[in-house]
Amino acid sequence: MFRKKITFKILLFLILSDFLETFLQFCFKKSTINAENLNILNLFDVGLFVKSVVSSYFLWIAFASAILIFVIWSTILSKIDLSVAVPVASFSYILVPFTSIVFLHEKINALRWTGIIFILMGIIFTSLSSKERVEHKK
């Protein structure tokens, strides 16, 4: 199989995809904030939860973002290998906690930061191994 290089345009698409994925998660969270105090104990409570979430404009912004991510991601995958695209596009796992801290005022404990650092190291190692595999094929 022919290995495709990451061009500057594809790199920009990957970065945009990560930021949109982070924005999508933020919007999904914001769409549930009005329903946080609901105790879901029966089917009626589920209906109240769904009504609360569906009435949030954040949910609809999230759906629009998901469609845009689909288009961008499809473009990315048509240009580079999946085994390269997924690790490079995993920075949303790091961006989401930062967004949660800044905009949702969530607290991230040391154990979670340790996990985030391991994820970042995994992204770097996987990306490096992908480059190494391509160079050996030449």
pLDDT in tens, 54-87: 999 999 999 999 999 999 999 999 998 888 888 8
pLDDT in tens, 99-134: 999 999 999 999 999 999 998 888 888 777 655 555
The residues spanned by each domain of the chain are 8-137
CA angle 127, 92, 59 (to 5 degrees): 150
3-state secondary structure 53-108: HHCCHHHHHHHHHHHHHHHHHHHHHHHCCHHHHHHHHHHHHHHHHHHHHHHHCCCC
Dihedral sign (CA 58, 59, 60, 65): positive
Note the pLDDT of residue 38: 77
Least confident of 2-11, 16-25, 47-56: 2-11
- State the distance between the two ends of the chain, measured CA to CA, in whole angstroms: 12
Predicted model pTM? 0.80
Give the phi and the psi of residue 40 in degrees, each rounded to 5: -95, 100
